[in-house]
Amino acid sequence: MGLWHITRFTLQEALRRRLFLAVSALSMLLLIMYAFIVHFVAVQSTKGAIQGGDSTQLFLLVGGVLISVPSIWMVYLISGILTIFLAVGMVSGEIEAGTFSIIVPKPLRRYEIVLGKWAGHVLLLGGYTALLFLAFLGVIYWLTGYWPDSAFSALGMLELAILALLGLATLGSTLVSTVVNGAIILILFVSAPLASFISTVLAIMSSTQTVTFAPSPSLQNTITVINLIIPTDALWHGAAYYLLPTQALNLLPSQDVSTTFFNLPLINPEQLTTPLFIWVTLYIIVLPALAIWRFQKRDL
């Protein structure tokens, strides 16, 4: 019963906060502007295709493929940043405000407090991410006719990324202050794509045959370590993989220069490996469990 009360209170508190309301309002405005821009580009592209004698339907489908990944990357970025700002103070903020000194003596177990707050953020952020994801893909489908074959697998990858960020924020909130926790997670989240970005740029330069770069074990090891510390970037690449049509995925192993577009640092689709998926699953489960254990022993 206590777990349910804390979860409900967390949802109500988050919905009342100006941050979530502001982000939700800006998301709606962004979606409307995005729809207008895509509509304008689709109209202009269709005119060009008609003048060139090309198939307008095929032209729009290709356009839908090209814009789907950058669009959903924006969803990933917005949801990730919202997760950080909402969750970094879920425990430390209450301790700093003195709230727990009032509610902990009541018939509430400490694990119910942490688990209830975590569950409330899961429901809120998971729902927000799903709605924004489906809204952007809905606009793309409406204007171009393209809907990814594995759209819900891509959504699953995004939800796992949010859960990984939330788990890290939950643990950090029981260890350090809100400001320190926010700074650490934000730096990790922003820095996570850096190593894979450099690796992809080197691969693109090598594919142009102007210069050849040998694969660097140290760079690959660095990427692996980063993915173990914060696996959000790997999960994003997994989402990008599922956003592309099957025909495009069949081209990815090819070294032909025509497939270079799919190796751009922003896109760089790569299916999540089984060992990394197992690690992500443990990551999502173990970090909140460690947060519960730490909160049990923390002096309020």
Q: What is the pLDDT of residue 144?
A: 85
Handedness of CA 148, 208, 257, 196 (dihedral sign): negative
Q: Give mean pLDDT, residues 270-296.
A: 93
For 207-229, the pLDDT digits (tens) are: 655 555 555 677 778 778 888 99
Is residue 129 scored above 60 in pLDDT?
A: yes
Query: 142-159, pLDDT tens digit by residue?
Result: 988 889 989 999 999 999
Structural domain boundaries, residue 156: 2-297
Share of the chain above pLDDT 70, in %: 76
Nearest to 249 by CA among 257, 147, 240: 240
Which residue has better confidence, 66 or 124?
124
Lowest mean pLDDT across 150-159, 249-258, 279-288:
249-258
The mean pLDDT of the chain is 82
